[in-house]
């Protein structure tokens, strides 16, 4: 009732302010919606100079109730919810004669995913057949499992042929060569683990490890294992994961791009790491004839220490443990397509990590799975229905404005030598921008040709997922036989991503259609809000090209040391300030400190991106004149810019998810993505008259760009 009365009063205030001073107030539908959103979101009673995050987001944090099936609510999830409903309507529409084949495939997959009754009856049967095809499940079969028939390399080959994850022991990536992005290279790397390196180091003392151990035991019992035996087997499996984690690099160590680039021919690889017959291994994983590798084929080793010890680790580990390890991964990867009895046990584990008490509705999960499985088809069907092409043009102008401001920042930077500075300017000028979607998504023939070899025959969703996985891997591996085309429309970020990205390998930023909505962008509201919204993210992605990792790539996206020593030292000193600033933050809700070293790239990009967007907005005002205010709000357009920036991160998160994600996430928690950068900007303090020494205007400030 209180919220209803407040909203009614809000509408009256907005209408009255429009009536009283229409020349000074923006009264477009977009401005009215924006004003309503800001008023409902902020806590204007607080001092913006004490805690701007609480000032801009306080009411949202107080009033938002996280649904039982969600781990957090934010502008990203709100935009995602809107997108989800749009896609649901498109996916669930009947298949018609007018549908092009990619849309038929997409709808067929969604309908199969939604057939929960068939999954309850046949899902486990189909998965058991698959497990038996892979050699069985030792933890269930006990002494009846044939250990002599298992070989870890042969197991990897079976996984690849069956459209399953073959990267459990050695990760194989197909990516542009880090020093020559015009060619595609094979990368060998350490695998991704289900649990964090730090969690595994603590072992049974860690709550996440304990919950994971209990999950595997219970899953094994549901599959038919004896519980006492399952506990013994899972204990051995956890010890194996700890060994693998100990041999792996930390996320902080892997921020050094140069250390990850270790090119060699397969012949040289064989000499350096002789215990694995690499030519056989790679050809059985790659499979495609046109991608047949020879002893002269070049690969790059991302994690040399890991590759040097993994075979010894595998030889010393029981075959039962290795087989259990991959089968657990297989059955858990199909969690969506098994009976609820098993799914509910997975939900309990997810609840430990995220705090969510319920699973999202079936339709929501199937929308997400369909979108991920058909990135191009889903992007195409979405933009044809829901994206305004005019947004491409207006956001493109913003990209040019913000890029120009970053170039000006480079020109005025005193700690860079002239040669390094000019190279940086050239790189900034060369950044390509891909906004909204690729035009080829509207070309029926090109889209149809892309999916020409994919067939979904009537059957189980498990078979559909496997077929799509094989299709995707074959397309990826086929790139080995071609020169990499950075303009290839198929490599763009999906238009359905509520996100943005910097692609270092080609020096480009990508702003998908799905993020051009909600608090991030609207064509009929103040530009102050747009520059503080999507403009901030544009600047963020541009700055990624010059953060601790992106700066090591040249104008073409190739790994190159183009920094003079003194300039390099100056950058490291400024980055150290950012690292120390954020390392001194501890999240007040869960009392977990931020890892300033792990998050430095995102923090540098946040600080730079907001500054560039602010300067670009000021330049826009000089060209176009001052903007009006929003109805019902006293704040100037410049103040609204900062409020818009903060509103991008108004987030209510479950404590369980916050506590488990902070140590692993390269991004700082939402609160500090506002408090950190804004406390470093004199412009912010001036616009809100924050006295020097206040929390938002500390005497000591950090600045890289």
pLDDT more than 90, % of the chain: 87
Same domain? 556 vs 668: yes
Inter-CA distances, 519 with 152, 262, 289, 525, Å: 49, 43, 49, 10
Q: Which two tokens stand for residue 377?
A: 């088809």
Residue 222 within a domain:
yes
Residue 96 within a domain:
no
Same domain? 161 vs 78: no
Catalytic, 606? Answer: yes
Residue 165 within a domain:
yes
Same domain? 147 vs 80: no
Identify whether the C-beta of residue 227 lies closer than 8 Å to the C-beta of residue 221.
yes
Identify whether the C-beta of residue 286 lies closer than 8 Å to the C-beta of residue 292.
yes
Residue 596 DSSP code: T
pLDDT value of position 290: 65
Same domain? 193 vs 215: yes
pLDDT value of position 20: 44
Residue 328 within a domain:
yes
Report the residue count for the chain.
Answer: 705
The one catalytic residue among 84, 541, 547, 687: 541
pLDDT value of position 478: 86
Same domain? 196 vs 343: yes
Confidence check: pLDDT of 5 > 60 = no
Beta-strand pair 586-587/592-593: antiparallel
Confidence check: pLDDT of 578 > 80 = yes
Same domain? 274 vs 414: no
Longest Cα pair distance anywhere in the chain, in angstroms? 85
Residue 11 within a domain:
no
Identify whether the C-beta of residue 526 lies closer than 8 Å to the C-beta of residue 33.
no
- The Cα angle at residue 399 between residues 394 and 404, in degrees rounded to 5: 130
**pTM of the predicted model, to two decimals?**
0.92
Phi-psi category of 508—alpha, beta or left, where left has phi over 0 and alpha has psi -120 to 50? beta
Structural domain count, the chain: 2
Same domain? 554 vs 622: yes
* φ, ψ for residue 206, nearest 5 deg: -90, 130
Most confident option among 67-71, 182-186, 348-352, 406-410: 406-410
- Whichever domain contains 297, its CATH number is 1.10.1380.10
Residue 30 within a domain:
no
Beta-strand pair 180-189/298-301: parallel
pLDDT value of position 457: 83
Give residue-wise pLDDT tens across range 306-334.
999 999 999 999 999 999 999 999 999 99
Confidence check: pLDDT of 283 > 50 = yes
Q: Which two tokens stand for residue 213?
A: 């151990």
Residue 517: which pLDDT band, with cuts at 50, 70 and 90? confident
Confidence check: pLDDT of 12 > 50 = no
Sign, CA torsion 380/381/382/388? positive
Same domain? 166 vs 73: no
Confidence check: pLDDT of 525 > 80 = yes
Q: Which two tokens stand for residue 559?
A: 């790994």
pLDDT more than 70, % of the chain: 96
Same domain? 74 vs 125: no
* Lowest-confidence region among 29-33, 99-103, 404-408, 565-569: 29-33
Same domain? 229 vs 298: yes
Same domain? 332 vs 439: no
Catalytic, 210? Answer: no
Give residue-wise pLDDT tens across range 419-438.
999 999 999 999 999 999 99
The one catalytic residue among 54, 84, 350, 606: 606
Domain residue limits at 219: 115-354
Residue 99 within a domain:
no
Residue 18: which pLDDT band, with cuts at 50, 70 and 90? very low
Same domain? 371 vs 261: no
Sign, CA torsion 112/118/120/124? negative
Helix (H, G, I), strand (E, B) or coil at 18: helix
Confidence check: pLDDT of 103 > 80 = yes
Residue 423 within a domain:
yes
Confidence check: pLDDT of 8 > 50 = no
Written in H, E and C, the secondary structure of 507-540 is: CEEEEEHHHCCCCCCCCCCCHHHHHHCHHHHHHH
Residues 6+ apart with CB under 8 A from 578: 596, 600, 603, 604, 607, 702, 704
Q: Which residue has the tokens 């204007």?
A: 44
Residue 254: which pLDDT band, with cuts at 50, 70 and 90? very high
pLDDT value of position 503: 94
pLDDT value of position 291: 63
pLDDT value of position 1: 44
Give residue-wise pLDDT tens across range 203-234.
889 999 999 999 999 999 999 999 999 999 99
- Whichever domain contains 447, its CATH number is 3.40.390.10
């Amino acid at each position: 009732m209180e919220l209803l009365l407040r909203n009614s009063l809000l509408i009256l205030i907005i209408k009255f302010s429009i009536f009283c001073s229409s020349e000074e107030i923006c009264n477009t539908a977009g401005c009215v919606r924006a004003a309503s959103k800001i008023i409902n979101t902020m806590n204007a009673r607080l001092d913006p100079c004490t805690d701007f995050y609480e000032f801009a987001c306080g009411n949202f944090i107080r009033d938002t109730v996280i649904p039982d099936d969600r781990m957090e609510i934010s502008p990203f999830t709100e935009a995602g919810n809107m997108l989800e409903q749009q896609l649901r309507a498109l996916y669930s529409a009947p298949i018609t004669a007018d549908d092009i084949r990619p849309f038929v495939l997409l709808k067929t997959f969604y309908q199969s995913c939604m057939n929960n009754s068939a999954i309850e009856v046949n899902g486990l049967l189909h998965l058991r057949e698959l497990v038996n095809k892979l050699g069985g499940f030792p933890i269930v079969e006990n002494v009846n499992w044939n250990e002599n028939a298992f070989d870890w390399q042969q197991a990897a080959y079976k996984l690849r042929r069956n459209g399953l994850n073959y990267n459990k022991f050695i990760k194989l990536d197909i990516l542009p060569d880090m020093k020559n992005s015009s060619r595609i290279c094979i990368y060998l790397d350490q695998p991704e683990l289900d649990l964090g390196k730090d969690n595994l180091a603590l072992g049974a003392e860690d709550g996440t490890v304990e919950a994971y151990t209990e999950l595997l035991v219970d899953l094994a019992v549901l599959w038919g294992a004896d519980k006492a035996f399952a506990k013994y087997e899972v204990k051995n499996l956890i010890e194996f994961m700890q060994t693998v984690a100990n041999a792996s690099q930390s996320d902080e160590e892997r921020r050094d791009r140069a250390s990850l680039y270790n090119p060699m021919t397969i012949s040289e690889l064989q000499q350096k790491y002789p215990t694995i017959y690499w030519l056989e291994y790679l050809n059985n994983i790659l499979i495609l004839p046109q991608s047949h590798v020879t002893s002269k084929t070049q690969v790059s080793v991302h994690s040399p220490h890991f590759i040097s010890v993994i075979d010894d680790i595998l030889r010393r580990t029981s075959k039962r443990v290795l087989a259990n390890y991959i089968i657990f991964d297989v059955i858990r990867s199909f969690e969506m397509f098994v009976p609820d009895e098993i799914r509910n046990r997975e939900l309990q584990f997810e609840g430990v990590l995220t705090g969510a008490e319920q699973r999202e509705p079936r339709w929501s999960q199937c929308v997400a799975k369909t979108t991920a499985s058909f990135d191009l088809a889903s992007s195409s069907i979405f933009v044809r229905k829901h994206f305004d092409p005019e947004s491409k043009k207006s956001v493109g102008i913003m990209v040019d404005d913000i890029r120009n401001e970053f170039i000006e920042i480079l020109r005025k930077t005193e700690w860079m030598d002239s040669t390094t500075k000019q190279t940086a300017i050239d790189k900034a000028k060369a950044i390509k921008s891909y906004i909204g979607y690729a035009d080829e998504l509207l070309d029926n023939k090109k889209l149809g040709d892309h999916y020409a070899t994919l067939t979904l025959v009537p059957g189980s969703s498990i078979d559909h997922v496997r077929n799509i996985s094989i299709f995707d891997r074959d397309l990826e591996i086929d790139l080995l036989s071609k020169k990499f085309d950075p303009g290839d429309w198929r490599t763009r970020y999906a238009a359905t991503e509520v996100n943005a990205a910097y692609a270092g390998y080609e020096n480009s930023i990508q702003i998908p259609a799905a993020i051009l909505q909600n608090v991030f962008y609207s064509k009929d509201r103040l530009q102050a809000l747009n520059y503080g919204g999507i403009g901030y993210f544009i600047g963020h992605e541009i700055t990624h090209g010059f953060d601790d990792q992106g700066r090591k790539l040249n104008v073409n996206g190739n790994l190159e040391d183009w920094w003079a020593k003194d300039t390099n030292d100056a950058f490291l000193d400024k980055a150290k300030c950012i690292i120390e600033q954020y390392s001194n933050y501890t999240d007040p809700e869960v009392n977990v400190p931020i890892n300033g070293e792990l998050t430095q790239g995102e923090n540098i990009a946040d600080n730079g991106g907001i500054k560039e967007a602010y300067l670009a907005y000021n330049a826009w005002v000089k060209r176009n004149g001052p903007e009006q205010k929003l109805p019902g709000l006293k704040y100037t357009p410049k103040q609204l810019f900062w409020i818009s920036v903060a509103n991008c991160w108004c987030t209510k998160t479950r404590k369980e998810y916050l506590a488990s994600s902070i140590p692993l996430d390269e991004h700082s928690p939402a609160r500090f993505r506002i408090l950190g950068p804004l406390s470093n900007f004199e412009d912010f303090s001036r616009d809100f008259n924050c006295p020097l020494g206040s929390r938002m205007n500390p005497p000591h400030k950090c600045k890289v760009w």
